[in-house]
Structure 1
Amino acid sequence: MKKGVILASILLFIIGCKENSETTSTLITGNKEITLEEIWDGTFSPERMNSLNSMNGDFYSLLNTDKETKATTVDKYSYKTLEKVETIVSSADLKDLDGFSSYSFNNDETKIILGTDFEKIYRHSYKGTFYGYDIASKKLTLIGKGIQEPVFSPDNKKVAYAKDNNLFIKDFSKNKITQVTKDGKKNSIINGITDWVYEEEFAFVRAFEWSNNSKYLAFLRFDETNVPTFSMDIVGNDLYPKQQVFKYPKAGEKNADVTLHMYAVSSKNSKKISLGDYEYIPRIKWSNDDNILVATTLNRHQNDLKLHTVNASNNNAKVLLNETDKAYVDITDNLTFLDDNSFIWTSEKDGYNHIYHYNSAGKLINQVTKGNWEVTNYYGFNKDKNTIYYQSVENGSTNRGVYSIGLDGKNKKLLTNENGQSSAAFSNNLNYFISTFSSSEIPPIYSLYSGEGEMLKVIKDNAKLKENLSEYKMSPKEFSTININGNDLNMWMIKPADFDESKKYPMLMFQYSGPGSQQVANRWNGSNDYWHNMLAQKGMVVVCVDGRGTGLKGADFKKVTQKELGKYEVEDQIAAAKKLAERTYIDEDNIGIWGWSYGGFMSTNCLLKGSDIFTTAIAVAPVTSWRFYDSVYTERYMQTPQENASGYDDNSPINYADKLEGNYLLVHGTGDDNVHVQNSYRMINALVEANKQFDMFIVPDRTHGIYKGKNTRLNLYTKMTNYIEENLNKKSDKSIEIKG
C-alpha cells in the first residue's frame, strides 16, 4: 500500500473518531513472519517525539544532537508553528563540556542546569556532574561532581543539591557553597533524597523544595539506621564478586524514620517540624503563600491521609484536609493551588477517581467531575479560562480521552479522539498541547492541538511503520468482555490469521493483575504484543483478561483484593481459562499462562491452584511470598504479616509447591533490587522439597527488567518461545514452528 493512502486513512480515522465511535480500522495481513530478532532490534519500534520541555509563553524546548557537528543542543520551538526559534545552548560552544544529556531551566528561563556523566543508582535515581549556564553571558559554572537533583532557587541566585546523603546550597553571586546538613551517612542517614522504598513506591527522588521567595528550603530526613539490610552478590567480570548492600524494609519490618525539616537560608538554621502521628511523608509542596508549605502524611496502613499546612515563619503545622478509606488512599501529584490558595485535589471518595475543588481552609467547594468512570490524569488549571484539563476513561475503560471542564464542573468538552488512547503534553500556559494518540491498530500519532481541542497539525504519523507492518502476517486484537464470577471482565484475544474454527488451538494467557493495573487497553503494540502475534501466527490463541483488582472500573472493583492479594485474581484467571476452554476451537488440554513480576506471582499460583486447567506456566521475576516484598507496596494492600498472616500465606505459591503437575519455567535476574531473587530461590527450595521437576533460567546480575547486556532480551524470549513450543503444543491440530 502506498504511504500517501495510509496517511490519508489515518487522518480520516482521527477526524472520524470524534463523530462516529463505531469507526474502526482493519489490520492488513501480509506473508512475512515476525522474528524474535526483529522484535528486539527495533524493527517494529514507532518513531517517537523527543521528550519536550514546556517553556514560558507559547514555546517548548528539545534536547537535540546536531547531525553534522554531533554537538548536543537545547533548541527552542514555537507551539504555534512547531518551527525552531533558536538554539539556546550548544555543547560546541562550551570548551569545558564535551556534551550533556540533561537540562533544566530556572523559573524565568535565564539560566540552565546541564548534566553529564550520569551513574545510575536505582530505578529513578542517578548522580552526575552538573553545570550552571547563564544564557545571556554564556558563562558556564561547575555546580558539582557526583551530585544529585540540583535545582535553582526561585530568585535565580542559588542552586540546592544533594551529595553523599547531605544537602548543599551553592550561591553563584558569591561563588560560595553552604553545607545545609552534615549527618548524612550511607545506609544510615539521608537528607533531601528519598530512600529505596520511597523512590520505588512513592515515585520521587528529590525530597527538598525551595519556598517561592527563596528564603526557605524544606526537606525530608530519612533515618534508616534500624532498617534491615539487604545484600546481593554482583558477579561482574572480576575474579571475585562484589556486594550491593542497601536498606530494604520488607513487609512488617522497620521503616526509616522520616521527618520534615525547614532550613532558613538567612540564619542557616534548620528546625524539625512536628506533624503528629504518621508513618510516611510521601509529598511536600509549597502553596502560593510564600510562607506556607503543605506536607502530606500517611499512617502505616495508608488509609488515613492528611494534608498539613506548615508556616515556615514559626514552624507551626495544622491539618488542612483529612481523607480516609476502608482500604487505602492513593498518592498523586495532582495537588494544585490557585491564586486564592484554594486547591484542586483528586480523590476516590465517591467510588471513582474524580477532581474536587477545596477552599484555602480545606472545605469542599464542589466536585468538578462526576460519573461511573475514572479520571486517569490531571493536566492543569488555566486561570485565564477558569478551565481544568484532564484525561479520563469516560468512553469505556479501555479508551482514554483528553477533556476540558470549567472549575464549576460545567462546559465539559472532549478535545481528542473518542476511541483509542490519547494523552496530552500541554504548554505551560495551557494554550496548546501535543497529543499522542494510538489504538490497537493505529500506531502513535503526534499532533498539535489548541487548548480548545482544534487539531492544528500532525507532527509524526508513523505511516511508514504501518506500511512496513502490512507486509507481515498479523492478526488484530479482538476486544470483548467475559462474565466471570459475576463480573464482566475486559478481554482481548489474538487468533492466527488463517484461523479455522473447526480446529483446535493451544491457548496462552498473559496477565499482570496487580492492583489498579490494566493490560486490556485499546493502544498500540508493545514488544510483548508482537511476540504474542508471532505465537498466534504459529498456531496459538493468545488471550489477556483483566480480572478483579485491576484498575479503571471503580474503587470497589479495584480494592476487592484488599488483604487477599492472589486470591480473587487467581480465581478469575482460572475461571476464565475454563470458560474459554468450552469454546470448540480451544484445546482444553493445552492451556498455558505467563506473566512478569506480579504477573509471575499470578502465573505460578494459577498453575499450582488451577492444575486441572493449566498445563504450562512461565513466571518471570515473580513474587513468591509477599513477606519478601517491600513494606510500602505490600502493606498498602495486605497490612502487615503480623496482622494478616493468613492473607500472606494462603496465597503464597511457596506453600503450594506440592501441587505442581504441569510444566513450570522460573526466570529471575540475580541483580534484581526490586523483587529479590530470594523469591525464586525459596520457590526452588520448596519445589525440591516436594520432589517436583521444573525448569529455571537464572540470569546473573540482571535487574527486574532483565534487559541489560548484549542479546539479553532476545535470549530470554528465545528461551520462553522454545519452552512454549515444547510444552504447550502436544495434542493440538496445529503445530507451532518457531523461527528466530
Structure 2
Amino acid sequence: MTSRQQHSFPRQYARTQRFTLGVPRSFTVAPDGSRVVFLRSPSGERRDNHLCVLDMDGEVRERVAADPGALLGGADEELPPEERARRERTREGAEGIVAYAVDDAVELAAFALSGRLFVAELRAGTARQLTVRGPVIDPRPSPDGRHVAYVAKGALRVAPVEGGGDTDGFADRVLAGPEGEHVTYGLAEFVAAEEMGRSRGFWWSPDSTRLLVARVDDGAVQRWWLSDPAHPDREPAGVAYPAAGTANAEVRLFLVGLDGGERTEVVWDRVRFPYLARVHWSSAGAPLLLVQSRDQRTQLYLAVDTETGETRTVHVDEDPAWLELVSGVPAWAPDGRLVRVADEGGARVLAVGDRPLTGGQLHIRAVLDVGADDVLVSASAGEEAPSPEIGEIHVYRVNELGVERVSEEPGVHGAVRSGAVTVLATARPDGPGTTVRVLRDGKQVAVIASYAQTPVLSPRVTLTASGPDRIPCAVLLPRAYEEGDGPLPVLLDPYGGPHGQRVVAAHNPHLTSQWFADQGFAVVVADGRGTPGRSPGWEKAVAGRLLTLALDDQVAALEGLAERFPLDLERVAIRGWSFGGTLAAMAALRRPDVFRAAVVGAPVTDQRLYDTHYTERYMGGTPSEVPEVYEANSVVWDEGLVGPENPARPMMLIHGLVDDNVVVAHTLKLSSALLAAGRPHEVLPLTGVTHMTPQEQVAENLLLLQVDFLKRALGVE
C-alpha cells in the first residue's frame, strides 16, 4: 500500500465523522401520512444538520424547513455548557440542528441553536426565533402546538408560539424553578442520560394542560474537578459524578399545571426505587413510570393518579442478575393494555397485557411503535432460531396472530412508523452507507437521499462463529492477501462489552478494521458473552465477572479462528476504546502468553471510579459489598497491578484530558502502576478531547499513530 493510500482513508474517515455526515436521521412521520421530518447535513463533509421535510401529500418532494446558517445569520454556533454536556451524553458530534421535537400533528417543530429557541411551521416551511430567556435546552412543543416548554438555567419555562414569546399576558415564564444551586427542573441526571437511555426530564400531558417534570438535586453527589493542563489559565470544571458506591442524585417527579397553579408531587417509594428509568404519557392511559431498585434486580411499572400524585403498581419485574432497560417501553397500547419487554423462559420477549407475543426465536431489542393492531419491534435472532444469520437485525410486526418480518434483505434495519407510513433504514453488508425507504401500506413510495461520501475502501469481511460457545466474529484480511501468502500478525479489534455489538451484517462498521488489515494484519472482531443481541443468558453471563469473562471469550474466539484462518499466534495485539480499551489493558497484563502489545483507549482501569448505575449492575453490588469482584475486574487496584508477575508487553495509552465519563485518572493510575512495575508503555494525552474524538486532526492521526505503534511492537514491516 502506498503512503497516499495509507493516509487517504484516515483523512476521509475523520472528515466525514465516520461517514455519518450527510446521512438522513431522526425521522418523524406525520400521523396523517402527509410528511416525514428528518435531519441531514448538506454534504458528506458538512456537520451542520438542517431540518428537512419529505412531502408526500401529492407530489413527493424533499425540502429544507430550517437552515441553521440562515437562522444564525452566518454566525458560528455557540453552545451553552448544559448543551455541551447533553451532547456528550448522547455522543453527538454533529452541529446545527442536532435534535428537535414536534407537536402531535407534526405541524410544528421546536429546536435550539446557540442557546436560542426556534420553531418551524412544517407545512408552510417557515422558521423563526421566539424571544425567550435562555440559554435554551431541550425545547418541546405542547401536543396542540400552542406552547413550547424548555429548560434554561435549571428552570422549566414555557412560552406561547404565537406572540413571539413575550406578549399577550402569558409571556415566557417559569413553571418550576430551582430552589438551590444543586437543583434543576426538566433535565435528566447524569446516570439517566449516560446509562439508562433517558435523555429528557419533562413530559407534556396529552391535552397540553400539564407537564410531568423531574426535579434533580445532586447536592449529595461527590464533586470531581476536570481541567485541561494545556490551558492552565482556565478554571477546572466541577462535575457531579456518582462513582460506584457513592450517593446518586435525588430525583423526584412533579405534576405542574400550565396555568401556574400548585405543583403535585408524584409519590412512590424512592428509597427502595431511586432510579426513574422511563416515563410514558399518552392518551391511552394514565402517566406510566418505570422505576428501579438501586441493585436493578427489581422494577415497578407505576400508573400515576394525576389528581393526587399517588401511584399504583401495574406490574413488577424481578431478576437475580439485573433487569435490562429496553427502548420504547413501557407504553400503553391503544386499548389500555401494558406493553413491555421482559426476560422470560430464557428469551427477551414482547408482552402485551398478560400475554407474551414472541418467544425464543426472536431477541427483542426495541419497541419502535405501538399501533392499534400490532407492535413494531426491532429484533435479532434468538437462541431458538433455526438458522440465525450472524449480525443481522430486522424489523417485525407482532400481534396476537403472529410475527411478520418487515425488512427483507440481509443487513441491519431500523424503522420509524406512524399509521400506514413506515420509514425503513437499511445498512447492507454488500454496499456502503444506509438506504432510507418510505413505505405506505408496505409499498415503497419514496427514498430519502443520503449525501454521505462513499468510502475509499470496502471491507473484505467474513462473519462466522468461533469456539465452543459459538462466539460471533468478523475476520478481515488484507484486500491484497492471497491464499498461500502465509500467516499474518493478528490484531484483535473488539468492543466486547455490554451495549456494544460490533459483529454486524453491514458495510461501514467494518471499515476501520479493514484499514488496519490492509496495513498487514489479520483483524479479528469478536462479540463474546456480555455483548447484546443474542439472549438474556448471553448478556447476563458476565454478572460479577464482566472483564474476566470478556477476556476469556476473546482468547477462545482467537484460538478457534486460528484453525481456519492464516493467523500467526506468535504475533497478536489488541486495540480498543472505552470498554474495548479496558479489555485491551486486561489482555496485555493478564494474558501476556497470548497478547504481545495493546492500544488502550479511554479505559476504565479501576471499577470504583466508574458510575453507579453501570458498575453496580455488572459487579453485582457496591465496592464495600463485593470488593473482591471489583478487584478481579479492575486493571489497577489501589497502586498495584492485578495478577501475577508476567512478561511486560508494550502498551499505548490514549485518553482525552477533559473526558467526564471515563475520567483521565483511570489512565494516569494505570501509567503510574506500569512505571512502578518497570513496564514499557507510551501515553498519548489528547488536549481538549472528551470521551469522543470528533476533532478531525485527532481522529485522523490517532489511526496513523496506532498502526505505527502496532507495527513496531509486532515487528511488522
> What TM-score, normalized by structure 1, do the two folds share?
0.82
* Matches for 1:419-568 after TM superposition, within 5 Å: 419-426=410-417, 428-429=418-419, 431-450=420-439, 452-456=441-445, 458-460=447-449, 465=454, 469=456, 476-483=460-467, 486-496=468-478, 497-501=480-484, 503-526=486-509, 529-568=510-549
After TM superposition, give the deviation of residue 258 of structure 1 in Å.
1.3
Aligned to 1:722, which of 685, 698, 708? 708
After TM superposition, give the deviation of residue 540 of structure 1 in Å.
1.6
Give the SS at the match of 1:269.
coil
Structure 1 CA distance for aligned equivalents of residues 276 and 252 of structure 2: 8
**Greater shift in the superposed pair: 578-587 or 81-90:** 81-90
How many residues are paired up?
A: 663
Give deviations 1:665-695, integer Å, cap 9, x for gaps.
1111111111011101111111122122211
RMSD (Å), alpha carbons: 3.2
Corresponding residue for residue 45 of structure 1: 19
Structure 2 CA distance for aligned equivalents of residues 693 and 66 of structure 1: 46
Corresponding residue for residue 137 of structure 2: 148
Q: 1:85 to 1:588 in 2, by over 3 A?
A: closer
Question: Does 1:215 find its partner at 2:209?
Answer: yes
After TM superposition, give the deviation of residue 106 of structure 1 in Å.
2.4
After TM superposition, give the deviation of residue 326 of structure 1 in Å.
1.1
CA contact (8 A) 1:164 1:184 kept: no
Corresponding residue for residue 15 of structure 1: none
Structure 2 CA distance for aligned equivalents of residues 65 and 373 of structure 1: 35
Give deviations 1:490-540, integer Å, cap 9, x for gaps.
1111122323346231111111111243111111123xx333323323322
Question: Does 1:247 find its partner at 2:230?
Answer: no
Corresponding residue for residue 27 of structure 1: none
Give deviations 1:267-320, integer Å, cap 9, x for gaps.
621132220231211122224267x22122100011101011111112221111
After TM superposition, give the deviation of residue 432 of structure 1 in Å.
2.4
Corresponding residue for residue 82 of structure 2: none
Aligned to 1:299, which of 293, 296, 304? 293
CA contact (8 A) 1:416 1:453 kept: no
- Structure 2 counterpart of 1:37, one-letter code: R
Corresponding residue for residue 656 of structure 2: 669
CA contact (8 A) 2:100 2:139 kept: no
After TM superposition, give the deviation of residue 600 of structure 1 in Å.
0.7
Structure 2 CA distance for aligned equivalents of residues 146 and 348 of structure 1: 42
Aligned to 2:404, which of 409, 413, 438? 413
CA contact (8 A) 1:391 1:423 kept: yes
Structure 1 CA distance for aligned equivalents of residues 528 and 616 of structure 2: 21
Corresponding residue for residue 61 of structure 1: 37
Question: Does 1:346 find its partner at 2:341?
Answer: yes
Gaps of 5+ in 1: 1-30, 118-127, 359-363
Give deviations 1:159-183, integer Å, cap 9, x for gaps.
3222211222335653324423333
Corresponding residue for residue 652 of structure 1: 634
Q: 1:704 to 1:103 in 2, by over 3 A?
A: closer
After TM superposition, give the deviation of residue 478 of structure 1 in Å.
1.1
Q: 1:103 to 1:507 in 2, by over 3 A?
A: closer
Give deviations 1:92-129, integer Å, cap 9, x for gaps.
99899989736543223454434321xxxxxxxxxx11
Give the SS at the match of 1:259.
strand
After TM superposition, give the deviation of residue 463 of structure 1 in Å.
11
After TM superposition, give the deviation of residue 224 of structure 1 in Å.
1.2
Corresponding residue for residue 641 of structure 1: 623
- Structure 2 counterpart of 1:421, one-letter code: V
After TM superposition, give the deviation of residue 75 of structure 1 in Å.
5.2
Corresponding residue for residue 176 of structure 1: 171
Structure 2 CA distance for aligned equivalents of residues 197 and 92 of structure 1: 33
- Structure 1 counterpart of 2:507, one-letter code: W
- Structure 1 counterpart of 2:508, one-letter code: N
Structure 2 CA distance for aligned equivalents of residues 637 and 441 of structure 1: 36
CA contact (8 A) 1:565 1:647 kept: no
Give deviations 1:590-619, integer Å, cap 9, x for gaps.
111111100111111111111111101111
Question: Does 1:131 find its partner at 2:95?
Answer: no
The percentage of counterpart residues that share the same residue type is 20
* Matches for 1:385-396 after TM superposition, within 5 Å: 386-394=373-381, 395-396=388-389
Question: Does 1:284 find its partner at 2:267?
Answer: no
Aligned to 1:692, which of 679, 703, 706? 679
CA contact (8 A) 2:390 2:463 kept: no
Question: Does 1:702 find its partner at 2:686?
Answer: no
Question: Does 1:631 find its partner at 2:612?
Answer: yes
- Structure 1 counterpart of 2:595, one-letter code: F
Aligned to 1:334, which of 329, 353, 363? 329
* Matches for 1:70-85 after TM superposition, within 5 Å: 76-79=53-56, 83-84=60-61
CA contact (8 A) 1:414 1:453 kept: no
Structure possessing the higher radius of gyration over alpha carbons: 1
CA contact (8 A) 2:19 2:452 kept: no
Structure 1 CA distance for aligned equivalents of residues 609 and 401 of structure 2: 45
Structure 2 CA distance for aligned equivalents of residues 661 and 605 of structure 1: 13
Give the SS at the match of 1:568.
helix
Corresponding residue for residue 88 of structure 2: none
CA contact (8 A) 2:585 2:635 kept: yes
Aligned to 1:311, which of 293, 298, 305? 305
CA contact (8 A) 1:180 1:268 kept: no
Q: 1:652 to 1:77 in 2, by over 3 A?
A: closer
**Greater shift in the superposed pair: 75-84 or 456-465:** 456-465
Structure 2 CA distance for aligned equivalents of residues 557 and 179 of structure 1: 48
Structure 2 CA distance for aligned equivalents of residues 688 and 93 of structure 1: 53
Structure 1 CA distance for aligned equivalents of residues 191 and 611 of structure 2: 7
* Matches for 1:358-369 after TM superposition, within 5 Å: 358=353, 364=354, 366-369=355-358
Structure 2 CA distance for aligned equivalents of residues 356 and 587 of structure 1: 48
CA contact (8 A) 1:513 1:569 kept: yes
Structure 2 CA distance for aligned equivalents of residues 512 and 625 of structure 1: 18
**Greater shift in the superposed pair: 369-378 or 580-589:** 580-589
Corresponding residue for residue 224 of structure 2: 230
Give the SS at the match of 1:566.
helix
Corresponding residue for residue 8 of structure 1: none
Corresponding residue for residue 93 of structure 2: none
Corresponding residue for residue 361 of structure 1: none
Gaps of 5+ in 2: 78-95, 382-387
**Greater shift in the superposed pair: 412-421 or 134-143:** 134-143
Give the SS at the match of 2:416.
strand
CA contact (8 A) 2:544 2:618 kept: yes
CA contact (8 A) 2:14 2:694 kept: no
